[in-house]
Amino acid sequence: MIKRMFLNFFQLLKTAVKNFSANDDMKYSAALSYYTIFSIAPMLLLTIVMGSVFFGQDALEGHLFDQLEGVIGPEASLFIENMLQKITLQQKNFIATVVGIGTFVFGATRVFGEIQSSINKIWGLKAKPKKGIISFIFNRFLSFAMIMSIGFLLIVSLIASSLISLLNDQLAQWFSYSAFVMSVISNAVGLAIISVLFTLIFKLLPDAKIRIKDAFIGSFFTTCLFFIGKYIISMYLATSATTSAYGAAGSLIIMLLWVYYSSSILYFGAEFTKAYALHHGHGIEPNKFSIRIATSEYQVDKKGDPVKKEDLSS
């Protein structure tokens, strides 16, 4: 039984690696890195603003940047913090305010739009031509909902961190290994929160019908890869001379590298989710806004017409 599970897992892994390479998914990571530069500041600011309804803005910002610093390092975290501080909405009149807010929200949701488009291509889906405008509006709504979800998860993370810290202070009086136990609990909570986020991404963002179980299994695998990759990327960025090599642009380069490798993990997880859903789950079907697509390669002559098989053999 266990042997069969391992064989199935490695077969899925093999399929995911093959498709990841064949589909050249790394190019999607490069595109996402580009859009992140213009979207990360408004996206994080909207997340903080929505989360500050329940918690103080200073507490949320401190918790968020503590988490970022642990992943991408102090230089890149400070770079993002400075970006947030420089964002302002010019409120000269009502029309200018509305336009400014609209532009702000569009920029914040662009990252999720790019993720959706990339996963659609990975899963072999495309928006219906006549449903383009409706799909665009609906997708922007989903992207905004994802930002709200991140804000909610940030609040959950802050509450969990506060409770874990409080519990650690109490247990430290009785147990010498309380710090280790709390570290394990903290990582488990982080694993659960990121798994929920990836499940929402795989379930809601693509123009697809996929069972929640299939999306969760794929997201849990992606989360495990993300945590492993987070430490590897952090170690690499800590030991590399990227910041000094690029001077003032070093912090920006570090953030780009982190987004690039992290999004590669996300898209590899999408390939794994697809492989699992097709071979062991309930499959992936297009929703009412999309159609299934397939690509094929064939040789053409000088006029651009397909070459027949008998011509190829001669």
Could you report the per-residue pLDDT of 25-44, keeping only the tens digit for each? 889 988 888 877 777 777 77
Report pLDDT for 167.
Answer: 65
Nearest to 55 by CA among 124, 141, 153: 153
| Residue of 79 and 268 predicted with greater confidence | 268
The answer to whether the beta carbons of residues 207 and 115 sit under 8 Å apart is no
Q: Dig out the tokens for 243 from the structure.
A: 């910041």
In angstroms, the CA 24 to CA 7 distance is 26
Whole-number Cα distances in Å, 142 to 112, 145, 153, 156: 9, 5, 16, 21
Share of the chain above pLDDT 70, in %: 60
Place 91 in a pLDDT band, splitting at 50, 70 and 90.
very low
| Whether the model pTM is above 0.85 | no
Report pLDDT for 140.
Answer: 66
The answer to whether the beta carbons of residues 32 and 259 sit under 8 Å apart is yes
Cα angle, residue 38 at apex, residues 229 and 261 outer, rounded to 5°: 15
Report pLDDT for 185.
Answer: 79
In angstroms, the CA 211 to CA 205 distance is 13
Given phi > 0 = left and psi -120 to 50 = alpha, else beta, which region is 37? Answer: alpha
Place 89 in a pLDDT band, splitting at 50, 70 and 90.
very low
Burial of 3 from C-beta contacts in 10 A (0-12 / 13-18 / 19+):
exposed
- The residues facing 193 across adjacent strands are none
* pLDDT, averaged across the chain: 75
Give 215-269 pLDDT, tens digit per residue: 999 999 999 988 888 777 777 766 666 555 555 566 677 778 888 888 899 999 9
Q: Dig out the tokens for 24 from the structure.
A: 């050249």
